[in-house]
C-alpha cells in the first residue's frame, strides 16, 4: 500500500471502550459472523501468508506470546498472555493487544486492544471449524469451561451454525451462573449441568475452554459418543491439555498450523507424526472434512496468527468513518526525514 506520508504519522488506536462501541454498533452476532467470514477467506489463501509458530516466553505461572504474520500487503502481530492463576486474583486469564502495519512503508496503520477481539476471533474460529466438521444437522453444544471465552463461543455457534441449545458445565458453579445470566435474552436455550457427563448428553458439538496450566482430562474417552464434533480450545501451550489421549487417538484431528499445534495442542500428547488434517485444506477442498456420520472430529484449536490478522484487518476497515478510534502520536514525523535530531531540539521550547 503506497500511502501519503502525512497520513501515516497518526496511528488509529482502538481502545477497549471503542472496541465495545464498535461491536455494539455493528451488532455482536453480525460482528462474529463477519470475523468468521474473514478468517475463512484468509484460510482459503493460506499459502500467501508468512507463517511461524508463535514465540512464547514461559514462566511457572503462565506464558507471554508474540504472534506475527503477513500477507505481503499488511503485517500484523498480537501480544497475548495466558495466566490461569490470574482469575483467582481478579485478573483476566488472557489479555492482548495487536498492531497492523503497511508492508510497503513499514508504518503501523492501527494499534488495537485485543482482549475482547481475541474472544471474538477465537469464537469465530471455533464456529468456522464447526461449520466444516460437525454433523450438518447439529443443534446442541456442550460448553465446558464457562469463563471469559464461553459466551462468545456460544453466540458464534448460534450466529454461524444456527446452534439453538447450549449445555453448560464448569467446576465453579458461579461461572456457569454468570454464563447463564449473560446468555439470557440472546435466543439460546441454555441448560446448566452438574457434571461434564450431564453436559455432553445429547450434544452434537462439545467445546472445551477451561484454563489450567496442566495436563487435564476434562473429557475421557468413554464420555464421547460417535459422530460428535469437539472444539478443544483451552489447551493452547506446552504442558496444557484438556482431553484424554484416547479421545485424540480415536478422533480425526484438524489443526490450524501443525508446527505450532504439535507443541501446544492436544496432539502434544501423541507421537510427533500423529496424523492431522490442516483446516485450510478442508476449507479449500484439498482435504476432506467429516467423512462419516459416526466419525469423531476434533478441532485442536490453539489460536494462530492469521486469525488475529483477519480480525485486525476487519476492525481496520470497520472503524473507517466512525468515531471509534483515537489518533495516536506514536510515529516520529520530522519534516525532513533525516532531521530526527533537529525535531527533538526544536521540541525543547
Ligand atoms: P477463564 O479463566 O476466564 O475461564 C476458564 C474457566 O474454566 C473457569 O471458569 C474455570 O472454573 C473453568 N475450569 C477450570 N478447570 C475446569 C475443569 N476441569 N472442568 C470445567 N471447567 C473448568 O479463561 P478463558 O479466558 O475463558 O480461557 C479459557 C481457556 O481458553 C484458557 O486456557 C485460554 O488460554 C484458552 N484460550 C484459547 C484460545 C485459542 O485461540 N485456542 C484463545 C483464547 C483463550
d(CA 318, CA 286): 32
Check pocket membership of 204 for ligand 1, CB cut-off 6 A: no
What residues act catalytically? 236
Is the pLDDT at 334 greater than 90, yes or no? yes
Q: How far is the CA of 234 from the centre of ligand 1 (A)?
A: 5
pLDDT, one tens digit per residue, over 310-322 is: 999 999 999 999 9
Q: How many CB atoms lie within 10 A of CB 89?
A: 7
Q: Which residue has the cell 477467506?
A: 41
pLDDT per residue over 113-134, tens digit each?
A: 999 999 999 999 999 999 999 9
Beta bridge partners of 229: 205, 297
Instruction: Name 63's bridge partners.
Output: 58, 82
Domains defined along the chain, listed by start = 7-116+306-346 (3.30.1780.10), 130-304 (3.40.50.720)
252-302 pLDDT per residue, tens: 999 999 999 999 999 999 999 999 999 999 999 999 999 999 999 999 999
pTM of the model: 0.96
Rounded alpha-carbon distances, angstroms, from residue 53 to 68, 103, 232, 262: 9, 20, 19, 10
Q: Is the CB of 151 under 6 A from ligand 1?
A: no
Q: What are the cell numbers at 349?
A: 521550547
Q: Which sign, positive or negative, has the C-alpha torsion 268, 273, 275, 278?
A: positive
Pocket probe for ligand 1: among 123, 211, 267, the residue whose CB has the most ligand atoms within 8 Å is 211
Does ligand 1 lie within 6 Å of residue 228's CB atom?
no
Residue to mutate (ligand 1; options 93, 206, 303; most atoms within 8 A of CB): 93
Give the separation between CA 253 and CA 277, rounded to whole angstroms: 6
Atom of ligand 1 nearest to the CA of 119: 43
Amino acid at each position: 500500500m503506497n500511502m501519503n506520508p502525512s497520513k501515516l504519522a497518526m496511528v488509529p488506536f482502538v481502545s477497549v471502550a471503542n472496541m465495545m462501541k464498535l461491536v455494539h454498533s455493528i451488532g455482536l452476532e453480525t460482528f462474529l459472523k463477519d470475523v468468521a467470514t474473514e478468517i475463512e477467506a484468509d484460510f482459503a489463501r493460506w499459502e500467501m501468508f508468512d507463517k511461524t509458530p508463535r514465540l512464547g516466553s514461559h514462566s511457572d505461572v503462565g506464558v507471554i506470546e508474540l504472534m506475527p504474520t503477513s500477507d505481503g500487503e499488511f503485517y500484523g502481530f498480537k501480544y497475548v498472555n495466558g495466566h490461569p492463576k490470574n482469575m483467582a486474583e481478579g485478573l483476566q486469564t488472557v489479555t492482548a493487544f495487536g498492531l497492523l502495519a503497511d508492508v510497503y512503508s513499514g508504518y503501523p496503520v492501527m494499534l488495537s486492544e485485543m482482549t475482547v477481539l481475541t474472544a471474538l476471533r477465537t469464537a469465530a474460529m471455533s464456529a468456522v471449524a464447526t461449520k466444516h466438521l460437525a454433523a450438518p444437522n447439529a443443534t446442541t453444544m456442550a460448553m465446558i469451561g464457562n469463563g471469559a471465552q464461553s459466551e462468545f463461543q456460544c453466540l458464534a455457534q448460534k450466529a454461524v451454525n444456527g446452534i439453538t441449545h447450549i449445555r453448560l458445565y464448569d467446576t465453579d458453579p458461579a461461572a456457569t451462573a454468570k454464563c447463564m445470566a449473560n446468555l439470557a435474552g440472546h435466543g439460546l436455550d441454555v441448560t446448566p449441568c452438574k457434571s461434564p457427563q450431564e453436559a455432553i448428553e445429547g450434544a452434537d458439538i462439545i467445546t472445551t475452554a477451561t484454563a489450567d496450566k496442566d495436563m487435564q482430562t476434562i473429557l475421557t474417552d468413554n464420555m464421547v459418543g460417535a459422530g460428535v464434533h469437539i472444539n478443544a480450545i483451552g489447551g493452547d501451550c506446552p504442558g496444557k491439555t484438556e482431553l484424554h489421549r484416547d479421545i485424540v487417538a480415536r478422533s480425526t484431528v484438524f489443526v490450524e498450523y501443525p508446527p505450532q499445534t504439535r507443541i501446544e495442542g492436544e496432539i502434544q500428547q501423541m507421537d510427533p507424526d500423529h496424523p492431522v488434517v490442516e483446516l485450510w485444506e478442508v476449507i479449500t477442498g484439498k482435504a476432506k472434512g467429516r467423512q462419516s456420520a459416526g466419525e469423531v472430529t476434533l478441532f485442536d484449536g490453539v489460536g494462530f496468527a492469521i486469525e488475529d490478522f483477519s480480525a485486525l484487518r476487519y476492525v481496520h476497515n470497520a472503524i473507517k468513518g466512525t468515531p471509534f478510534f483515537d489518533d495516536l502520536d506514536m510515529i516520529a514525523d520530522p519534516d525532513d526525514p533525516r532531521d530526527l535530531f533537529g525535531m527533538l531540539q526544536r521540541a525543547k521550547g
